Structure 1
């Protein structure tokens, strides 16, 4: 795209259309440069588009499905261009829309139950609404306040992701939008949005509806106004969540997403990011989560029924338990111990040796118990749960059991594979050793177990040394243990290179023409050359290594014709070609 300059370029195709005596909106929408001209605030174009008749037609392209006999332009292109025109945020066009009650009514007619709700137009509708919410906040919220049925309609369509995003922004559960209209949202607290949302777990069987409902509720736990926050943390609301989750007649997705809301209530930032690195950081225990005690107690009332589902849907329940242990709530810890929850999840850790998500959560629970330094938890972990005995038992039998009564068995006719949780076993064992340094109770328990002492000295210490990645060479320089440098150049310069090995490799490469070139035809005869001709000494290797430190190398074209490749290298006929690696 080039800038147009007066007198040097032809007129814009949009201006050409506007100069006609009779032209239509469709002609403009069909012109590829119309969006560019809108952003450039083309006066004649803006004057035409901001007229009520044109704004109404643009809205109809967004909220009304094209007929089956319509052309592709009317089905796809025109709705897209119409949406882009609104989101260009042109003052005149937005004023025409927000200041006209009938046009706003036409826009929100898309939410009516008898209206078709295709995903494509729903996306365009959502973009226009979010634009109005940001640029015309007062007028937009005034209209919504006068039409509270909009909340009901959005909740009914929450299975559509675009509608979910609009609802999140509308109720102020978004950190970027909430600050824009804090005062306007005070009346939203009085609506029944929370009740409508939690009822979706009971009234719909769609996994998409359950997932999006949970997303809205989790967003409320993070950014919602105080009124919403107080309601969602109340024991009555938590009780309704668990009532739906524990209903056996409901789909499994209800349990999964209801528990995700409960987890977010206990730790609002836990589900904020979805990347793997963020998930790994959640397993650290650098900070203690502080949850509302009333919220925790409301969940504990249903904990017994929830733990009965461990054999049905383990991962979600174990994650919920993991969060409870990180809270440091004595009531929660006593209830979990009384119900045998910790002992059961440890058993599952060994019963399902390939469920990596389960292993992460169980290791997280064990870490929380050890780091809490609470005698009750530690004694339960060491004695009732017998964590040391279970670790040693798994080490004695590091392959999958052939017992058909267990959930994980090896395939018939094949040797049993190695269990997949050895890494987590090692990590838990190291945590026990580390905790023993500050806990007399743990230290005594480990020292009195002779099998542990022998295994620690004969297996764990050696395994830790072998699995220390800082000592791995892997064909690369061995000085990888010092990673505190900020300069890549210093790190490169200080590495200990095996010059003899590099010299041998480079010699073989040139001898067998690995770095051959179509233009070097004479090099094909190098296989029959005498060994002396291809000798590549340590001095030559040092030259090549020094060159690599500065940049890529290229053999001088004048030296290509030299029949003696070994002579070329020996006399260092190398030309430097600096570059940034």
Structure 2
């Protein structure tokens, strides 16, 4: 409708561009210029790609605005120019990427002196980045011709936008072969060595940080790319250069052979931590996707890196003892002299990464230096530094849980079997007195709290460390060794440890595991009960991408059973029936009959046609759920008003089922009549209102709700035909008020709203039964023509209908 009536508005830019003397600034002043450009407005794009205007746009993002320009609008046009050039419009990309003059003007920004304007640098980097993505061949060829490109990039590496541009060249160049050419070109230009030279005390912190971050990203991107790109067996030259032993040695030499500089030390440690990163396969079979013959360096630490680091471990150890000078720090709880500092914290992180490699020569060097003892001293000294506490916990947890290194010495146990023992665990328990220090710290904390002091800040981590000892002594790979070391403690320390485990530690664990709402046991019980009831399993709650064979129809198998008490409803129904019968007898009452709210509509005779009890489906039969009403009022011509049972001819109760729409019938209530019934005999079936108790007979496609009353008219008598003692002798067949015919069939078409169905009532005098059938031939109810039973016993399903 929107396009039919052409309700879209026309941009004012179209009108503006029709002017002959329109300027670029006038167009850029329009509010919707960016939207129109991204929508590729032909007039606007044709205007912008004119040589003069393209040059002006590049000038705006590469030259400093004039100082006399108002500050609020100083960078307005440079910003709009950047957005227009990076709107990813093909014509603009083609004109800018293929015009070498424009590229030279853009490239000239790098030739400015440091430091670069950070805002203009971001505009420049954004424009060149999109050109690298859209025109990689042209841009790479252009940059390779510039001999000073790498020098300028390294020169301005302190500007974050330039660092981003360098990383963009490593990730956004496609196809793969072109990317490999770029990597080889940058490696030939010694970009890695130049970045390493930036991380030394003579450079400022911005260069330290950005050069370190660039090297870290190169490592991660190169390792990821090796597994994402299949079919390429050529190694990444930049990563190979970074992992060389001489490169790592140069990094360490920059920080240890010169003046100590906190920023440079931290930056180098960040690079080493990235080199020590060990990654696991994202999913099973990940390693198999690698090309044949390719190693998997991202899943193990290169030995050349460890060889370069090992001789420098003493220097890192010395940093823990004598960090770069820090000013005294005053805190809310006291004075830190000296504070931990970023350097020592990162050295502890480096030790944790080295322990994770589980290399024998590294472990022995740390043992000889007693680095673990110094780290534990820091743990208990700086009681509020949780960053430090976490790293110490990681160190101890890895030592306790890691199996002994392959190069560890063999030892003969009590069973005369050679086993490997961890030298780190022996050092931790014997030299560092791990157990004793934990016990002393715990006692000191309890004493301080008893005197009204604060709980020590490391107690949470100390609890986890103690639990790690208990767990690994029972189930860990070094359990026997840990138990042996504990047994070698002095009797006093061993008793203190056992008392601590069973008492203080157990109580602390109990307090820590209490939930505010439900305990773990309660949650497990509720989950178990839910699964037992509904039959779900854990896989059905997993990620659908990982579990592909989950059945989607399990919900259909859930069975519900409802136990209801019908006695109250039955009593209510009987009371209502009595009340209704009383209303029939009170003929002189002036009160309005509540059953006279609707009229009874009988189906026309033309719609009635006899049907046998065994009939099949017809056009008028339906499978929908419905509640029909049948009533055969007694013929007033065959009996006196005193001798007949009156039947209510008020509105009938029907049911509307919206699930299966019907296209036959009229919007009338269902009614029953028996035009073929002879005088003196009739049978009526009444379906009560839905609020009354109902019995359900289930067929293949529907649920028919029926509650029937068997009404048999007795001619000139108050006795029921089943009462043999009260039968008149003159009654033929011994049955008063019943037909002599063997079988009588009555067929009716019932219309209820949009539903229509033909049903039949067959009265068999011989068997004394009445069969009520749907048009599909299914017996709805088979009732004996005996005196009506109690209402609670009326169950059509028991009378032979389908369950």
TM over 0.5: yes
Q: Deviations over 1:183-217 (max 9, x none)?
A: 33232221121121111123644222211111001
* Alpha-carbon offset, residue 221 of structure 1: 1.3
Using a 3 Å threshold, how does the CA distance of structure 1 residues 203 and 60 change in structure 2: closer, same or farther? farther
SS in 2 for 1:309: helix
In the alignment, structure 1 residue 473 sits paired with structure 2 residue 513: no
Question: Given that residues 113 and 153 in structure 1 are in contact (C-alpha distance below 8 angstroms), is that contact kept between their aligned partners in structure 2?
Answer: no
Distance 2:501 2:390 in 1: 22
Q: Deviations over 1:81-123 (max 9, x none)?
A: 1111111111111111121222111111111143772111111
Q: In the TM superposition, what are the counterparts of 1:21-420 in structure 2 within 5 Å?
A: 21-71=20-70, 75-114=74-113, 117-170=116-169, 172=170, 174=171, 181-185=178-182, 186-202=184-200, 204-224=202-222, 226-247=236-257, 249-267=259-277, 290-311=300-321, 312=323, 313-374=343-404, 375=421, 376-398=423-445, 416-420=453-457
In the alignment, structure 1 residue 445 sits paired with structure 2 residue 485: yes
Q: Deviations over 1:520-559 (max 9, x none)?
A: xxxxxxxxxxxxxxxxxxxxxxxxxxxxxxxxxxxxxxxx
* Alpha-carbon offset, residue 397 of structure 1: 0.5
* Alpha-carbon offset, residue 51 of structure 1: 1.8
Q: Which residue of 2 aligns with 1:521?
A: none
Question: Given that residues 399 and 416 in structure 1 are in contact (C-alpha distance below 8 angstroms), is that contact kept between their aligned partners in structure 2?
Answer: no
Distance 1:484 1:76 in 2: 61
Question: Given that residues 18 and 45 in structure 1 are in contact (C-alpha distance below 8 angstroms), is that contact kept between their aligned partners in structure 2?
Answer: yes
SS in 1 for 2:19: coil
SS in 2 for 1:65: coil
Distance 1:51 1:148 in 2: 30
Question: Given that residues 133 and 173 in structure 2 are in contact (C-alpha distance below 8 angstroms), is that contact kept between their aligned partners in structure 1?
Answer: no
Distance 2:526 2:110 in 1: 57
Distance 1:70 1:100 in 2: 30
Using a 3 Å threshold, how does the CA distance of structure 1 residues 343 and 484 change in structure 2: closer, same or farther? farther
In the alignment, structure 1 residue 425 sits paired with structure 2 residue 462: yes
Q: Deviations over 1:417-471 (max 9, x none)?
A: 3211111111011111111114112123335511100111111111111101xx3
TM-score, reference length from structure 1: 0.73
SS in 2 for 1:397: helix
Using a 3 Å threshold, how does the CA distance of structure 1 residues 116 and 464 change in structure 2: closer, same or farther? closer
Q: Which segment is superposed worse, 200-209 or 14-23? A: 200-209
Q: Deviations over 1:266-297 (max 9, x none)?
A: 11669xxxxxxxxxxxxxxxxx9620011111
* Alpha-carbon offset, residue 416 of structure 1: 4.7
* Alpha-carbon offset, residue 332 of structure 1: 1.1
Q: Which runs of 5+ in 1 are unaligned?
A: 271-287, 402-413, 491-581
* Alpha-carbon offset, residue 179 of structure 1: 5.1
Q: Which residue of 2 aligns with 1:573?
A: none
Question: Given that residues 369 and 378 in structure 1 are in contact (C-alpha distance below 8 angstroms), is that contact kept between their aligned partners in structure 2?
Answer: yes
SS in 2 for 1:301: helix
SS in 2 for 1:202: coil
SS in 1 for 2:320: coil
* Alpha-carbon offset, residue 4 of structure 1: 8.4
Q: Which segment is superposed worse, 196-205 or 297-306? A: 196-205
SS in 2 for 1:310: helix
Distance 2:397 2:131 in 1: 48
Q: Which residue of 1 aligns with 2:500?
A: 455
Distance 1:179 1:365 in 2: 41
Using a 3 Å threshold, how does the CA distance of structure 1 residues 5 and 331 change in structure 2: closer, same or farther? farther
* Alpha-carbon offset, residue 13 of structure 1: 1.4
Q: Which residue of 2 aligns with 1:407?
A: none
Question: Given that residues 65 and 75 in structure 1 are in contact (C-alpha distance below 8 angstroms), is that contact kept between their aligned partners in structure 2?
Answer: no
Distance 1:477 1:216 in 2: 46
Larger radius of gyration: 2
* Alpha-carbon offset, residue 261 of structure 1: 0.3
Distance 1:12 1:33 in 2: 8
Distance 1:349 1:435 in 2: 22
SS in 1 for 2:84: helix
Aligned residues between the structures: 457
Q: Which segment is superposed worse, 327-336 or 315-324? A: 327-336
Q: Which residue of 2 aligns with 1:16?
A: 15
* Alpha-carbon offset, residue 478 of structure 1: 9.9
Distance 1:168 1:260 in 2: 18
Q: Which residue of 2 aligns with 1:529?
A: none
Using a 3 Å threshold, how does the CA distance of structure 1 residues 486 and 41 change in structure 2: closer, same or farther? farther
Distance 2:302 2:245 in 1: 10
Using a 3 Å threshold, how does the CA distance of structure 1 residues 297 and 59 change in structure 2: closer, same or farther? same
* Alpha-carbon offset, residue 227 of structure 1: 0.9
Question: Given that residues 310 and 317 in structure 1 are in contact (C-alpha distance below 8 angstroms), is that contact kept between their aligned partners in structure 2?
Answer: yes
Distance 1:45 1:9 in 2: 18
* Alpha-carbon offset, residue 232 of structure 1: 0.7
* Alpha-carbon offset, residue 239 of structure 1: 0.9
Question: Given that residues 194 and 232 in structure 1 are in contact (C-alpha distance below 8 angstroms), is that contact kept between their aligned partners in structure 2?
Answer: yes
TM-score, reference length from structure 2: 0.53
Distance 1:316 1:178 in 2: 39
Q: Which runs of 5+ in 2 are unaligned?
A: 223-234, 281-297, 324-342, 405-420, 534-803
